[in-house]
Structure 1
């Protein structure tokens, strides 16, 4: 299941409207209103990026792996990269639908439209899986060294 988070994901001025037990949002951008129904997974992703400011100034580890899914995920046949930086900013790039995290001399993006899985793996650890092709995936593990 691919989540569709496109343009309206990380507006800081959204509000909830409850209709027939569905979670529905009206997201406001300047002069534009989007009516959008959210899944539980999308709400978790939204919550992650709406609350990411608490990690500003923290050491951030991003481990990303590229793999091709044949039968199941194999840790040994994945190409891994590790980046460490202090998180200074985050945002959402409407053009291209990308979630961004930035530090000094470091910039990282996650495609909102390609997310197929999101989970919190620890108190300050998160995991995204993006599907880039029929059998090509990127797994991104984010760990914040949060002081509280």
Structure 2
């Protein structure tokens, strides 16, 4: 029994779920201009022709233009630009689907938070200090008002 036979065992707190792994390897696409009656399942089926769909989300909000929009997450994507071009060729009824790469990805959650003896999460960040963040220069309002620091 050598070192190669040993297996690292992690506790449940430190395990990553499949969702965390999918977030790292997936690509998200923003879509709009589809009928009001379409559901996430229908959108999933329409998009699965061009790639492996992992998730489709249609928020209850509407865009500034008053249209519904959706986000779809794909895996096994080699060329995101080509996928977006292919998605733009989809017609759902008399609606031509518009697709774009997402501009902002959701930030990844930290996997473990440190706790102190009382059980509350301890804060490792330093408190905000204006003098530290901008090298001793005051805010724009202070400079305009002539207040020096």
Q: Which has the higher helix share?
A: 2
The TM-score normalised by the length of structure 1 is 0.21
Which structure's CA Rg is the greater one?
Answer: 2
Higher strand share: 1
TM-score normalised by the chain length of structure 2: 0.21
